[in-house]
Chains A and B, each alone.
Chain A
Amino acid sequence: MDVGTMTLRGGAVSTAGDSVAGERAAGDRMALDGAAVTQVFRERYTELVGLAGLLLADRGAAEEVVQDAFAKFHLSRHRVTDPDREVAYLRSIVCNLSRGRLRRRALERRRRPVPERDEDARPDAALARHQRDVVAAALARLPRRQRECVVLRYWLDLPEREIAATLGIAPGSVKSHLHRGLAALESRLEELR
Chain B
Amino acid sequence: MNDAEDRVRAALADLAPAAPADAAAHAGLHRAIARRRRRRTTGRIAAAVLVLAALAGGRAVFDARDAEGPAGYSIEPGGRTGTAPEPGTGTASTTPGSASPDGHVTFGPVAFDLPAGWRSVLNADGSLCLAAADRPGPQWDGCAGLRLYRGELPGYEGAPYEDHGPWGFATSTDPVACPVAGGDVGGDVGPATDDVVVPAEAGTEPIDEGFRPVGDRTATYDQWFARCSLSSYTFTPRAWHLPESDVLIVDVFRQPETEQILASFTFTDG
Contact = CB atoms under 8 A, between A and B. Distances in A.
A133 B120 CA distance: 52
A93 interface: yes
B51 interface: no
A115 interface: no
A53 B166 CA distance: 25
Interface string A89-105: 10011001101100100
A49 B174 CA distance: 19
Contact of B194 (A62, A81, A186): A81
Contacts of B13: 155
A168 B28 contact: no
A64 B17 CA distance: 13
Given A54-B12, A189-B11, A75 B36 contact: yes
Contacts of B55: none
A1 B26 contact: yes
Contact of B29 (A41, A46, A139, A185): A41
Interface residues of B, number: 47
B173 A46 contact: no
A59 B200 CA distance: 34
B263 interface: no
B261 to A, nearest CB: 31
A151 B12 contact: yes
Given A11-B41, A54-B15, A97-B173, A173 B23 contact: no
A100 B173 contact: yes
B207 interface: no
A63 B19 contact: yes
A186 B203 CA distance: 27
Interface of B: 4-5, 7-9, 11-21, 23, 25-33, 35-37, 40-41, 157-159, 173-175, 177, 193-194, 198-204
Interface of A: 1-3, 6, 8, 11, 41-42, 45-46, 49-51, 53-54, 59, 62-64, 67-68, 70-72, 74-75, 78-81, 89, 92-93, 96-97, 99-100, 103, 132, 135-136, 139, 150-151, 154-155, 168-170, 172-173, 182, 185-186, 189
